[in-house]
């Protein structure tokens, strides 16, 4: 029995070796740069030029690496035939990359499992564009092919979501993604540009198993990149920005209950460096009339360029599913204030329902009080009240609702509407207009000051007269 078992094992090992050798020979004989380029051209409907490919009989184990790849924009079959084997013209490049490497494990295939050890693009540059009619240069890649025979629209049904049960095998991938990539996007309709640079996006430790979905339904994600506007944006919720972003988290591709493809993202997003101008939510906060009255230029800073560098606090916790983004622990450390935020946002409708907090630096308190004192003095119209009222003391009294326990000005607001047209409502503190504040407080302070002065300047029998005048002042 043992002898038969050893023979069976030996035969199995021999078969595996023969399979590996055969696969290696096929790869070595068939997988060359012209072969790969032609297959990519057929799939992408684009001219593909490959400068060099590293493949050998051992490539099934070590992997295949392709160097200096250039891909053109869309080409017709006739154009592809005439351009075959020629380099892509510099002005016609849709994408290029220094290298990409892929490696598939052979043994798991025998168990109906696909295990991709690595598929990584090195330094790709992708040029995306949209013309004035709204057509993009990747429409041919993302739009469904037309059916051979036209159907009645009434009979057409939307494609059913992908079910995990449609996967014929369990999938395991070590690492897939890109490193040090660049994406250039040009919107021809508005003539505006955005660039994503130093993009490293890696999906790793991918495990999807239809037979054990509860334990194997996860993709770990690591993203690092910079994203900036090239010139000012003419539409949207911000004018200019240049920020670096680091993301760590995971994607749950399939819903556990329905078993349908319905990705959920759970991640922490750090934004250590950044520069933003014209953020509509900031503009809306700065435009709240009461805040302008009380804080003047010390709230107007939100309309200006915001910059931060090397911040360990700036970022947020994100949970995303079905176009709804839930944000928690959002924080932005600016030079003039610390801003906290959280809530929900729908990426399809751009609707927002968020809470916003602003805590300003303590160093501005004296300047804010001085500005507020001038506002109060200008609001006192009665000359007799102005003679005795102390605008400095009134400003100190007016500031009390603004200060938190650390004696820093703290504001809280609710934000609704959309990212383009946010509606901001101040929820803390509850402030009244400067005019109403003066009406409620200036008269009584003037009376008290007047009483003190009267004791020195008036006789005792005239004091009652002043008190009567005080009653009049309260009504001013």
Positive or negative, the Cα torsion across 15, 20, 24, 30? positive
Q: Which helix (H) or strand (E) holds 415?
A: strand 410-417
Q: Confirm whether 176 is domain-assigned.
A: yes
pLDDT tens-digit series, residues 55-65: 654 444 556 77
Positive or negative, the Cα torsion across 78, 82, 88, 91? negative
Q: Is pLDDT larger for residue 469 or for residue 292?
A: 292
pLDDT(270) > 90:
yes
Using an 8 Å Cβ cutoff, are 159 and 102 in contact?
no
Q: What is the rounded distance in angstroms from the CA atom of residue 367 to the CA atom of residue 377?
A: 15
Q: Which residue bears the tokens 């000051």?
A: 449
pLDDT at 345 (0 to 100): 96
- Please report which confidence band the pLDDT of residue 103 belongs to, taking 50, 70 and 90 as the band edges: low
pLDDT tens-digit series, residues 118-153: 778 889 999 999 888 888 888 877 654 444 444 454
Whether residue 222 is found in the same domain as residue 110:
yes
Whether residue 253 is found in the same domain as residue 395:
no
Lowest pLDDT segment from 49-53, 225-229, 367-371, 428-432: 49-53
- Please report which confidence band the pLDDT of residue 115 belongs to, taking 50, 70 and 90 as the band edges: low
- Please report which confidence band the pLDDT of residue 219 belongs to, taking 50, 70 and 90 as the band edges: very high
Q: What is the rounded distance in angstroms from the CA atom of residue 352 to the CA atom of residue 425?
A: 13
Q: Confirm whether 282 is domain-assigned.
A: no
Instruction: Tell me phi and psi for residue 409, to 5 degrees.
Output: -65, 125
- For the chain, give the number of residues: 476
Q: Confirm whether 427 is domain-assigned.
A: no
Q: Is pLDDT larger for residue 193 or for residue 107?
A: 193
Q: What is the rounded distance in angstroms from the CA atom of residue 345 to the CA atom of residue 327?
A: 8
pLDDT(255) > 50:
yes
pLDDT at 18 (0 to 100): 38
Whether residue 125 is found in the same domain as residue 205:
yes
Mean pLDDT value of segment 49-70: 70
Q: Confirm whether 98 is domain-assigned.
A: no
Using an 8 Å Cβ cutoff, are 409 and 364 in contact?
yes
Q: Is pLDDT larger for residue 58 or for residue 19?
A: 58
First to last CA, the chain: 112
Q: Confirm whether 243 is domain-assigned.
A: yes
Decide which of 252, 268, 284 is a domain's last residue. 268
Whether residue 109 is found in the same domain as residue 64:
no
pLDDT at 142 (0 to 100): 63
pLDDT at 146 (0 to 100): 43
Whether residue 118 is found in the same domain as residue 72:
no
Whether residue 389 is found in the same domain as residue 464:
yes
92-120 burial, b at 16+ Cβ within 10 Å, e below that, comes to ebbbbbbbbbbbbeeebeeeeebbbbbbb
Decide which of 217, 249, 268 is a domain's last residue. 268
Mean pLDDT value of segment 44-63: 70
Whether residue 177 is found in the same domain as residue 74:
no
Whether residue 65 is found in the same domain as residue 113:
no
Q: DSSP of 176-225, one letter per residue?
A: EEEEEEEEEEEETTTTEEEEEEEEEEEEEEEEE-GGGTTTSEEEEEEEEE
Residue 28 belongs to domain spanning: 16-80
pLDDT at 390 (0 to 100): 81
Q: Confirm whether 333 is domain-assigned.
A: no
Question: Which of 242, 221, 240 lies closest to 232, judged by CA?
Answer: 240
pLDDT at 55 (0 to 100): 60
- In percent, the amount of the chain with pLDDT more than 70 equals 75
Domain count, the chain: 3
Q: Is pLDDT larger for residue 415 or for residue 148?
A: 415
Whether residue 41 is found in the same domain as residue 186:
no
Q: Confirm whether 2 is domain-assigned.
A: no
Whether residue 66 is found in the same domain as residue 181:
no
Whether residue 196 is found in the same domain as residue 256:
yes
Whether residue 65 is found in the same domain as residue 212:
no
Average pLDDT, the chain: 79
Mean pLDDT value of segment 49-54: 82
Q: Confirm whether 32 is domain-assigned.
A: yes
Please state the pTM of the whole predicted model: 0.75
- In percent, the amount of the chain with pLDDT more than 90 equals 39
């Amino acid at each position: 029995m043992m002898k038969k078992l050893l023979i069976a094992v030996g035969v199995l090992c021999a078969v595996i070796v023969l399979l590996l050798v055969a696969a290696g020979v096929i790869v070595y004989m068939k997988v060359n740069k012209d072969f790969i380029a032609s297959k990519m051209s057929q799939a992408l409907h684009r001219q593909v030029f490959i400068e060099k490919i590293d493949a050998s009989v051992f490539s099934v184990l070590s992997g295949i690496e392709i160097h200096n790849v250039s891909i053109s924009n869309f080409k017709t079959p006739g154009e592809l035939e005439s351009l075959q084997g020629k380099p892509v013209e510099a002005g016609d490049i849709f994408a290029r990359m220094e290298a990409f490497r892929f490696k598939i494990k052979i043994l798991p295939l025998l168990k109906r499992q696909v295990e991709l050890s690595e598929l990584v693009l090195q330094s790709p540059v992708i040029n995306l564009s949209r013309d004035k009619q709204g057509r993009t240069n990747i429409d041919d890649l993302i739009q469904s092919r037309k059916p051979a025979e036209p159907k009645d629209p009434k009979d057409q049904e939307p494609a059913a979501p992908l079910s995990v049960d449609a996967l014929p095998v369990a999938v395991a991938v070590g690492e897939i993604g890109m490193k040090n990539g660049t994406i250039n996007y040009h919107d021809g309709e508005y003539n505006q540009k955005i660039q994503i640079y130093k993009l490293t996006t890696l999906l790793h430790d991918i495990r999807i198993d239809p037979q054990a979905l509860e334990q194997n339904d996860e993709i770990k994600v690591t993203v690092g990149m910079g994203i900036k506007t090239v010139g000012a944006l003419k539409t949207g919720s911000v004018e200019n920005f240049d920020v670096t972003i680091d993301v760590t988290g995971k994607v749950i591709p399939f819903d556990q209950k329905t078993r349908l493809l319905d990705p959920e993202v759970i991640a922490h997003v750090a934004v250590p460096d950044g520069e933003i101008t014209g953020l509509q939510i900031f503009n809306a906060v700065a435009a709240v009339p009461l805040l302008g009255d009380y804080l003047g230029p010390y709230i107007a800073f939100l309309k200006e360029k915001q910059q931060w560098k090397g911040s360990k606090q700036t970022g947020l916790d994100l949970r995303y599913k079905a176009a709804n983004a839930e944000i928690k622990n959002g924080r932005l450390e600016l030079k003039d204030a610390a801003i906290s935020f959280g809530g929900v946002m729908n990426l399809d409708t751009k609707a927002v329902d968020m809470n916003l907090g602003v805590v300003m630096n303590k160093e501005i308190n004296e300047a804010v009080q001085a500005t507020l004192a001038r506002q109060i003095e200008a609001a006192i119209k009665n000359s007799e009240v102005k003679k005795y009222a102390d605008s400095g003391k009134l400003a100190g009294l007016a500031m009390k609702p603004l200060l938190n326990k650390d004696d820093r000005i703290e504001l809280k607001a609710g934000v609704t509407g959309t990212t383009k047209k946010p509606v901001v409502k101040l929820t803390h503190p509850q402030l009244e207009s400067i005019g109403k504040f003066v009406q409620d407080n200036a008269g009584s302070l003037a009376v008290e000051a007047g009483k003190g002065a009267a004791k020195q300047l008036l006789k005792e029998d005239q004091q009652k007269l002043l008190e009567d005048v005080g009653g009049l002042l309260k009504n001013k």
